[in-house]
Amino acid sequence: MKHAFLKALLAAGAIMIAWNCSDESSTGPKAPDYIVTSEAWILSADQDYVIYPPANGENFGIVTNAQGDQIGIFTFNSANSPIGTITDLTGQILYDAVDVGSLTVVQQNTPVYTITGPVWLLNDDSGDYLVYPPADGITGVVTDANANPVGYFNFTTNTLVALDGVTEITSVDNITDFPVLNPGDKFTKEPDPVIVESSSSEFVPGPESSSDIGPTPTSSATPKSSSSQPKSSSSAPKSSSSSGGSSYQIKYVNGGKSGSGYATRYWDCCKPHCAWPEHGGSASTCDAKGNKIGDKSASSMCDGGNAGICRSQFPIIINDTLAFAFAATPGGENNCGKCFDLVFDGGCKYDATSLHKKMKGKHLIVMSNNVGYDVAGGQFDVMIPGGGYGIFNGCSNKMGWGSQGSQYGGLLDECEKETGYNSSKYKSCLTEKCNKSFSSDPEAKEGCLFLATWMNAAGNLTHNYREVECPQELKQRY
């Protein structure tokens, strides 16, 4: 619900008065009560909001809570205005008419943990946890940074569960790989990989990226200017081996489509919607061996013909935080040939696990070459071999592959059920199934493994999306 801003304005005014009376420098104090990864503004209202400046040449910055979890975005009214609006991750307005020029500026801080004995510091996208050694040889108590109990860690399965003893919070490969802290130790939380501001309205995702901007420490504070769900019916992407180097500049389309939603998956071998003449015929279509078919009226594999997905359209890994793929988008939206940047937020359409949380901040740029009339608004049905064949199945009689798993959800859906929904086993199960189902087709196998590796075996990921200029790697494969 949209709040009246009076309460926030009074709180901000109180901070500003205290700030002006302080002897500290104008760049602002450290903020020991907040997780702050670079300079940011603090708004105290119904809760404390940490507002970061634009890091990408656009007019918005992320908003986190005091614990460092992203909860929304701050959009400036214009390039030269310090006033803007806080919205949550669904787009709902929380506060409007927020003047960041009147707020306190805080710098990156070093969290201090309350520790009563030697502990492992387990830090991942789900949070920071202090894991104490097991008293019974198997299970250890887990607290947050303030020594509040949050759950238990099973040293046999390397899994952290909530206080109910059942709900999984996160899992790791080996807890002993994490740093050990003793009472009095301090640990600086490394900021997550960020997107660097480029010389134009482009973003450069990648592990090497670094942020070099912060709020201007003046009263103006002017920002810088410029699955298990039914899937659709059709085609797919190119090899998931790395391509094109370790970084890529993402160019957003001014006035392009944007919103939030979730990503499902499928691969049905049918001729894609965008390849049919009545839908523009702009997309390519190929036979089972990957040879392009010039006849735009050729029958689909799903109708007994030879026209289907081109093998050049398997997913493409650029680096650990960026990948390309093709996808089906909702019917009636006219998206053929358009591209969208899906930025995963660490959530899931249904029940999020540690696998989903570790996907937070990753970018998947998809090009629409198919339409799914069973695809909902904001949903992108990503083309991944072994992802499930949906309503139609053109693969079984043409491709010579093994089992494609469940009709809706594919091989990963089978793994979820076979492991009793134990997410710590999804990757190994899916890897085994990909190797077996595509043993005679190395390229398709790599495409299948994309879900197990880059996508962390996480299904139905939630995301925010924006329309972008299409990468050359996708255009030449379209």
The residues annotated with a catalytic role in the active site are: 268, 381
**Separation of alpha carbons 128 and 140, rounded Å:** 16
Token pair belonging to 435: 């190797």
- Residue 434 phi/psi, 5-degree rounding, is -60, -45
Residues contacting residue 445 through CB under 8 Å, at least 6 positions apart: 385, 434, 435, 437, 438, 439
Reduce the secondary structure of 153-202 to three states and give it as a string. Answer: EECCCCEEEECCCCCEEEECCCHHHCCEECCCCECCCCCCCCCEECCCCE
Q: Which backbone phi and psi does 466 adopt, to 5 degrees?
A: -145, 145
Cα 282-279-286 angle, rounded to 5 deg: 50
- Coil, strand or helix at 135: coil
Residues 6+ apart with CB under 8 A from 476: none
Q: Which helix (H) or strand (E) holds 429?
A: helix 426-437
* Cα 116 from Cα 183, distance rounded (Å): 6
Residues 69 and 361: their CA atoms lie apart, in Å, by 12
Single-letter amino acid, residue 26:
S
In this structure, is the dihedral angle defined by the CA atoms of residues 2, 6, 7 and 9, taken in order, positive or negative?
A: positive
Helix (H), strand (E), coil (C) string for 229-289: CCCCCCCCCCCCCECCCCCCCEEECCCCCEEEEEEEEECCCCCCHHHCHHHCCCCCCECCC
Per DSSP, what are the bridge partners of residue 64? 50, 70
- For residue 102, which of 43, 25, 51, 35 has the smallest C-alpha distance? 43
In the DSSP assignment, the letter for residue 302 is G
Q: How far apart are the first and last CA of the chain?
A: 42
- What CA–CA distances, in Å, run from 264 to 142, 157, 187, 319, 424? 33, 28, 38, 21, 20
Tokens of 149: 């109990």
